[in-house]
Amino acid sequence: MEQIESIYPDKKIEMYDLLLAQLKAMLEGEQDVISNLSNASALLNQALKDINWVGFYFMKRGSLILGPFQGKIACIHIPIGRGVCGTAVKEGKTQVVTDVHEFPGHIACDSASNSEIVIPMMKNGTILGVLDIDSPNFHRFDEVDAEYLEQFVSLLVECCDWKSSLQYDF
C-alpha cells in the first residue's frame, strides 16, 4: 500500500502555525460547539505525529464528560482532581506529563498511552472542559506543544457559542 505524505511540516513550530491557520479557516462562520470540536479533534489527529488519542471533555454537573474525540473508546466520566484531566481542571492549568505511569491517580483508558497533555478550556473564569491528547511515546509533549495547543484551545473557546450549544451560564 502506498503511504500518503503528510501536508504538515516536520518542524514543530511550522506545523503548529499551519494547524492554527487551518483551525481559523475551519471556524469561520461556524459557532456550534459539537461540530467545531469534532472537526478540531479530527484536525489534530491528522496533524500530530505519534499520538493515539485526541479529544475533548466537557464540564457537566461537577465532573468531566466525554465529548468529541478521535481514537479508541474512552472513559466517559472523570471526577475533578482525578487523573491528568481532572487535575488540569482542579489546578486550572495545562498539564504536560512525560510519563503517565508516574502520575499519581492516572486513569488508563488505553494501556498503550505513555505520555499526555491536557489543556483546560476556560471562558470568563469558567472551565468549560479540556483538550486531552495521549501518545504511546514517553516524553512526546513539551512546552512548545503546550504553548501552541493553548492557542488552539483559545481559538475554539473564542469562536464557539457555548451558551446556546451546551447551556453554559456565564
Mean pLDDT, consecutive 10-residue stretches, the chain (170 aa), reads 70 97 97 97 96 96 96 94 96 96 79 93 95 97 98 97 70
Q: In whole angstroms, what is the distance from residue 76 CA to residue 114 CA?
A: 20
CATH 3.30.450.40, applies to 12-162 = yes
Give the per-residue pLDDT at 170.
47
Spell out the domain ranges in the chain: 12-162
Q: In whole angstroms, what is the distance from residue 134 CA to residue 124 CA?
A: 27
Helix axes 12-27, 33-47, angle to 10 degrees: 160
Give the per-residue pLDDT at 83.
94
Cell, residue 59: 464540564
Neighbouring CB atoms inside 10 A of 7's CB total 10
Q: Are strands 115-123 and 126-135 parallel, antiparallel or unpaired?
A: antiparallel
Give the per-residue pLDDT at 163.
85
